[in-house]
Amino acid sequence: MKLFIRRILSISMKEYKHILRDPFTFAAAVGIPVLFVIFFGFIIDLDYKGVSVNVRDNDQTESSRRFLQMTGSSGYFNLIPVHQQSQTDKKLNENDMSSIMIIPKGFGKEIKNGSGKAQIQLIIDGTDNAKAGIINSYISLIADKASNVFLKNEDNSQKPYLNVKTRFLFNPELNSRWFIVPGLGTVIIGLIAILLTALTVAKEWENGSMELLLATPVSAAEIVLGKLIPYFVLAFFDILLVFIFSILVFDIPFRGSFIFYILSSVIYIAGALALGLLISVITRKQEQATQIAFAVGILPSFILSGFIFPIENMPLFFRILTAVFPQRWFMQISRSVFLSDSGFAELMTPFFFITCFAAVMILISIKKFKKDLEVTQ
């Protein structure tokens, strides 16, 4: 029994010393849980606050202004006035808003008469079905409270007569599949493309075959492109698979430009593959490559991309941080192209960011390979 315990303690001491000699493993074991706690603690907030709502007050009466004051002071909404129909139409066509609230003429008159016909029109972007449902609930709740205030009836003994007429754009039924499935391509590529490239190339570093390849007269750019092309084909097949399943299996409409979607997918895949290649070049070990690939693949894809948790709900630091990762921008492109008639003009900003990311990752990978090639030769 003593010998058994002694052997266990000896093996444990050996592993302890191994961990001390490998600072990366120790840092990953301690640092990754800390990062996840910080990220999840700050980012996961299912309460929507400060949601931007465009408001067009066609009534301009004391009652309409009072209702808008109650809505803005609730803390849920940031009201942005629009004064012309053309402004509203532009924001709707460009998908540049979460919701638009329209107060029709005669609102104040109906409130004073107590006729029960006072209405507020609410137009909500339904591409994010969860957010759309919550916004509608918040507005309806505020309308109920406003009814009691207008009636001076705090005990709610009378039926509220201020009604909210809601219309959901792009996803009229608030089908959650319409929200989730178009974003799956972002998550899959963000994880698989990075992980596959990082692991396979890191394995070549461990086996020593990469040094043999670097010793050949092949240039660094040729090696990088040669490594990326096979995985690019696999990743592009995954994107097409998501596209086909979305339309044929889940019956999700595709309203945007297919050419723009494919072009954006190509650039996004190239950037993700280049990032995985860069990870393998830096680490040269499968274990470390796996840990980093999961960290930069899973975390941005699920948490920082807006796939589940709304970016506008995050603290300022994390909202800025999301701009660094291409997952956030391709998620925006994918959902907008599927559910709304958006093209390059409306999605110029996310397209610019994924293009810059892909170019930077490819250039850094080539530069790092070139440096290793010069050292080997």
Give the pLDDT confidence score for residue 155 in this predicted structure. Answer: 43
| 7 pLDDT tier (thresholds 50, 70, 90) | low
Alpha helices in the chain, H assignment, sequence order: 2-21, 23-43, 62-73, 85-93, 107-113, 129-151, 176-188, 194-207, 209-214, 220-244, 258-283, 286-298, 316-322, 326-339, 348-376
DSSP sequence for 97-109: -SEEEEE-TTHHH
- What residues contact residue 28 under an 8 Å CB cut-off, 6+ apart? 291
Residue type, 239: I
Give the pLDDT confidence score for residue 262 in this predicted structure. Answer: 92
| 354 pLDDT tier (thresholds 50, 70, 90) | very high
Neighbours of 350 (CB within 10 A): 21
In this structure, are residues 305 and 221 in contact, taking their beta carbons and an 8 Å threshold? no
Average pLDDT, the chain: 75
| 355 pLDDT tier (thresholds 50, 70, 90) | very high
Mean pLDDT of 183-205: 75
d(CA 229, CA 223): 10
Give the residue with greater pLDDT, 38 vs 76: 76
Give the pLDDT confidence score for residue 279 in this predicted structure. Answer: 85
| 352 pLDDT tier (thresholds 50, 70, 90) | very high
d(CA 287, CA 293): 10
Q: Dump pLDDT digits (tens) for 11-64.
A: 456 545 655 666 655 565 556 555 655 655 565 555 567 777 888 888 888 888
Q: In what order do the strands lie in the sheet with 51-57?
A: 77-81, 51-57, 99-103, 118-125, 162-169
Give the residue with greater pLDDT, 89 vs 260: 260
d(CA 175, CA 172): 8
Give the pLDDT confidence score for residue 363 in this predicted structure. Answer: 86
pLDDT at 356 over 90: yes
Give the pLDDT confidence score for residue 351 in this predicted structure. Answer: 92
Report percent pLDDT > 90 for the chain: 5
Give the pLDDT confidence score for residue 256 in this predicted structure. Answer: 84
Give the pLDDT confidence score for residue 156 in this predicted structure. Answer: 46
Give the residue with greater pLDDT, 169 vs 193: 193
Q: Dump pLDDT digits (tens) for 241-268.
A: 888 888 888 788 888 888 999 999 999 9
Mean pLDDT of 72-87: 77
Give the pLDDT confidence score for residue 94 in this predicted structure. Answer: 58
Going from N- to C-terminal start, the domains of the chain cover: 51-169, 176-376
pLDDT at 277 over 60: yes
Give the pLDDT confidence score for residue 357 in this predicted structure. Answer: 92
Q: Dump pLDDT digits (tens) for 105-160.
A: 888 887 777 666 788 888 877 766 667 777 877 787 788 777 777 766 444 445 44
d(CA 279, CA 275): 6
d(CA 166, CA 370): 59
d(CA 105, CA 75): 26
The CATH class that applies to domain 51-169 reads alpha beta
Q: Dump pLDDT digits (tens) for 324-339.
A: 888 889 988 988 888 8
Give the pLDDT confidence score for residue 263 in this predicted structure. Answer: 93
- What residues contact residue 288 under an 8 Å CB cut-off, 6+ apart? 24, 202
Q: What are phi and psi of 54, to 5 degrees?
A: -80, 135
